[in-house]
Amino acid sequence: MSGGGAEAAVGGEAPAAGGHKKKDSLGTAGSPAHLIIKDLGEIHSRLLDHRPVIQGETRYFVKEFEEKRGLREMRVLENLKNMIHETNDHALPKCRETMHDNLNQVLQRLQTATDSVYRLQQREQERKKIYNDHLIASENHHIIQWEDFMKEQHNKQAEVDEEHRKAVERLKEQYAEMEKDLGKFSTF
């Protein structure tokens, strides 16, 4: 579809087998018909054959795209590099300093809290020990009271048993005397 091919087909010139050109009826290369055919070929190639234009536009677009893309990537990389340098030079040392200061404060607070918890645990253990000692003392006191109570009960039981025995003896003697007296009166 190039201009030369259309011209050859329209002009009717075809290479001969021997490589010589045949002269057609339209005339020589400078004739007006030949010029019209040549112009028609150029018009045809411009109107219908867009490959060279498209190829040029494509090459231009790719070149512009690659340049813009490269420039954009370079700008992004440059911004990243600047951000990294700024972070390393300014933000990172500031963060380290702040972190160090805050960690020291946190460690001091943690140590204070640990000491407070330790004191509370000691107080609680002392309270438990005092309570347990008091409980043991109270239990021992109750045991002693119980033993005294049981001894007293045993002593009272012995006294009551003794009184009971004596009362039984007195009653036996009384009844024995009464029987004697009855024995005296029964003989009447």
Tens digit of each residue's pLDDT (9 = 90 or more) over 160-171: 999 999 999 999
Q: Among residues of the chain, what percentage have pLDDT more than 90?
A: 37
**CA-wise closest residue to 45 among 5, 81, 79:** 5
**Quick one: angle between helices 3-11 and 32-48, nearest 10?**
140
Query: CB of 1 within 8 A of CB of 48?
Result: yes
- Between CA 22 and CA 14 the distance in angstroms is 7
- For 122-165, the pLDDT digits (tens) are 999 999 999 999 999 999 999 999 999 999 999 999 999 999 99
Q: Global pTM?
A: 0.36
Question: Average pLDDT over the chain, rounded to whole?
Answer: 81
170 or 69: which leads in pLDDT: 170
184 vs 11, residue with greater confidence: 184
Per the model's pLDDT, the better-predicted residue between 27 and 30 turns out to be: 30
Most confident of 13-17, 109-113, 173-177, 183-187: 109-113
With beta carbons less than 8 A apart as the criterion, state whether 10 and 42 touch. no
**For residue 66, what pLDDT is reported?**
75
Burial category of 182 from C-beta neighbours within 10 Å (exposed 0-12, middle 13-18, buried 19 and up): exposed
How much is the pLDDT for 5? 44
Residue 34 contacts residue 27 (beta carbons within 8 Å): yes
Higher-scoring residue by pLDDT: 166, 7: 166
Residue 112 has a pLDDT of: 95
* Residue 7 CB contacts under 8 Å (≥ 6 apart), including other chains: 37, 38, 41
